[in-house]
Amino acid sequence: MAKKNKSALEEKKGVSVSEITNLSSIKSIQDKRKAEIDTDALTTSILNKDITALSRAITLVESKNPKHTDKANTVLKKCLPYANKSIRIGITGVPGVGKSTFIETFGKHLTSLGKRVAVLAIDPTSSITKGSILGDKTRMEELVKDNNAFIRPSASGDSLGGVARKTRESIILCEAAGFNVIIIETVGVGQSETTVHSMVDFFLLLKLAGAGDELQGIKRGIIEMADAIAINKADGDNLKRAKLAKVEFNRALHLYPEKSSQWQPKVSVCSALQNKGIDTIWEIILDYIDITSKNNYFKQKRNEQNKFWLIQTIENQLKSDFFNSPKIKKEFSKQLELIKNNETTPFAAADYLLKLN
């Protein structure tokens, strides 16, 4: 009878009981392996330039699982002595300006010079579905095959400034893995680009000519942050318009006060599609690094960034601890209901919850 039941089970499931048992055992072992993260082995692999280990470590620091936080911090601490030896470049611009094409061409130029390039590409997260396409690797077909390049697409989530929640930590891990040029591609120009500016040494703004945004693009905030402006897609019929846009932006830049870095931002034209003007942009970046290293601004800026990172990390942790508190979770729903029924104000509710915590 038991044998008959066993056969019936096997026939129904389309797999033998022994196979089910084996699959369960394998899954159990896999789950155990996932849970057991050897931070020493992971760090050693990163320092040995193991790309798979680097990807695992970035996934670890990006994890919202509280159990992973300590292990992520341990790996970061072990990698820190080997970090801070790269040039960090932030690249931003409106959607459609050609950021991905530019970064691929620029990255290939750098690897041809013997550089190891890591691209942290940030994809926008939908506020409705909470999903992200993460398609930068498919748009950088040549660079992704380069042994001296690493492309890591990450979702921006609810982070401001078009950056992922753990981009700063990812920079440290990439530097420890021997990448000496770190490129951060943002989702586009927004009101919080200072977030990107706070984690890079050089901030490059890509612009388009003939798109009707030359004068619109001359806005104090973003222009003041830019260390260089590159007019992309300067080819074909657009070349003349690109050169005219270069003149306009140069005039605009001279209206701004001198930067504390003693660097005068440059404007250049380029065509990422035709690989023209890319070498000039790299020379501009090297000139900037040379000047700011000599006047000590480079080191000063890195120190200011570390202070900014510290404050923001504390703010993020406090926010996380607050909303994950069981007491707050319970009372938060009650306060929302009171607000809905006009029995309290959002300000009074916030004050109550903060005092409760």
Which is more confidently placed, 34 or 186?
Answer: 186
Most confident range, picked from 2-11, 172-181, 256-265: 172-181
Which is more confidently placed, 19 or 37?
Answer: 37
Assigned superfamily of 83-295: P-loop containing nucleotide triphosphate hydrolases (3.40.50.300)
Q: With beta carbons less than 8 A apart as the criterion, state whether 58 and 171 touch.
A: no
Q: Among the residues of the chain, which ranges form H helices?
A: 2-13, 17-35, 39-47, 51-62, 66-79, 99-112, 136-139, 167-176, 194-197, 214-217, 220-225, 239-253, 278-294, 297-324, 326-340, 346-356
Q: Is the pLDDT of residue 36 over 60?
A: yes
Which is more confidently placed, 321 or 164?
Answer: 321
Question: Which of the four pLDDT bands, split at 50, 70 and 90, describes residue 297?
Answer: very high
pLDDT at 90: 93
pLDDT at 151: 94
Q: Is the pLDDT of residue 193 over 60?
A: yes
Lowest mean pLDDT among 84-93, 130-139, 142-151, 338-347: 130-139
- Tell me the domain boundaries of the chain: 1-36, 83-295, 306-356
pTM score of the predicted model: 0.80
pLDDT at 128: 36
Lowest mean pLDDT among 25-29, 117-121, 312-316: 25-29
What does the pLDDT average to over 41-57?
96
Question: Which of the four pLDDT bands, split at 50, 70 and 90, describes residue 198?
Answer: confident
Residues 6 or more apart whose Cβ sits within 8 Å of residue 350:
none
Question: Which of the four pLDDT bands, split at 50, 70 and 90, describes residue 229?
Answer: very high
Which is more confidently placed, 154 or 121?
Answer: 121
* DSSP letter assigned to residue 210: S
pLDDT at 14: 53
pLDDT at 312: 82
What does the pLDDT average to over 17-26?
52
pLDDT at 279: 97
What does the pLDDT average to over 231-242?
92
Q: Provide, rounded to the nearest whole percent, the portion of the chain with pLDDT above 90.
A: 54
Q: Is the pLDDT of residue 276 over 50?
A: yes
Question: Which of the four pLDDT bands, split at 50, 70 and 90, describes residue 239?
Answer: very high
Q: With beta carbons less than 8 A apart as the criterion, state whether 89 and 285 touch.
A: yes
Question: Which of the four pLDDT bands, split at 50, 70 and 90, describes residue 186?
Answer: confident
pLDDT at 22: 56
How far apart CA 91 and CA 206 sit, in angstroms, is 7
Residue 278 token pair: 């890319």
CA distances from 203 to 31, 158, 206, 278, 349 (A): 42, 22, 10, 15, 41
Q: Beta-carbon neighbour count of residue 46 at 10 Å?
A: 26
What does the pLDDT average to over 124-144?
55
What does the pLDDT average to over 42-55?
96
What order do you get walking across the sheet with 87-92 strand by strand? Answer: 149-155, 117-123, 181-185, 87-92, 202-208, 228-232, 266-269
Q: With beta carbons less than 8 A apart as the criterion, state whether 194 and 82 touch.
A: no
Q: Is the pLDDT of residue 9 over 50?
A: no
pLDDT at 159: 47
What does the pLDDT average to over 325-339?
93
What does the pLDDT average to over 317-321?
87
